[in-house]
Amino acid sequence: MRVLLVEDEADIADALARFLRAQGHAVDHAPDLGTAQAALDVAKFDAILLDIALPDGSGLTLLRDQRRGKNRVPVIIATARDQISERIAGLDAGADDYVVKPYDLAEIAARLRAHGRRASGDPAAESYVGTLKVDRAGARLFRGADEIRLTSREWALFDALLSARGRVLSKQVLEDRLYAYGDAVEGNAVEVYVSRLRSKIGADAIQTRRGLGYLIP
């Protein structure tokens, strides 16, 4: 998933971004509303982690603007504000979820996965690709009782294709899912990860549509 993290506290943002990147997510960090809006103007995100108290205003302003613009991206409010009235205001503004600091990093990651599955139309934590069992909650893949070990980037690519199952994703779309703004991207990075995945899960599991992209049928 490509995640926009809107958080002005540098220590919190750094810890959460490093944790999510280690799990294969591409994370763009915005320390204020202006930076967040600029990121949303030029990139498509799979989820937004949104603080409310930001240096240049309330995160709810950004949330309401996105919902008025019909942006249905899952938004998880992550804030120190824990009053019931504030939670209600956040949910009424269009948030999909609300967590209060200090939060557990693993829980945030789990909530992102859950909302990502729902957004893709497949809320189940387990699914199958041929004979392979996919544990999306645990980011694990099995052939029978044997686990197929994937790197974080291999899993991110596989999960992106699985979320769009039956639809072709272009190389550019896949790069956007794998890399945040400013990351160094090799020209053949997607091809390399597709090749590695095929060597582990089978050549037929990922199909190529020449000139268009890749899909899991």
* pLDDT for the residue 12: 94
- Residue indicated by tokens 């597709």: 194
Backbone φ and ψ of 131, nearest 5°:
-95, 0
Domain ranges in the chain?
2-119, 126-215
Mean pLDDT, to the nearest integer, of 136-155? 89
Rounded CA separation 136/77 (Å): 22
pTM: 0.75
In contact, 43 and 65? CB cutoff 8 Å: no
Q: What is the largest CA-CA distance in the chain?
A: 53
- Using the predicted structure, report yes or no on whether residue 121 has a pLDDT greater than 80: no
In contact, 81 and 103? CB cutoff 8 Å: no
Fold of 2-119: Rossmann fold (3.40.50)
Report residue 198 as tokens. 């095929």
**pLDDT tens-digit map of 34-68:** 999 999 998 889 999 999 999 999 999 999 999 99
In contact, 164 and 46? CB cutoff 8 Å: no
- Using the predicted structure, report yes or no on whether residue 182 has a pLDDT greater than 90: no
Q: How confident is the model at residue 123 (pLDDT cuts 50, 70, 90)?
A: low
2-119 and 126-215 agree in CATH topology: no
> Which CATH class name applies to 126-215?
mainly alpha
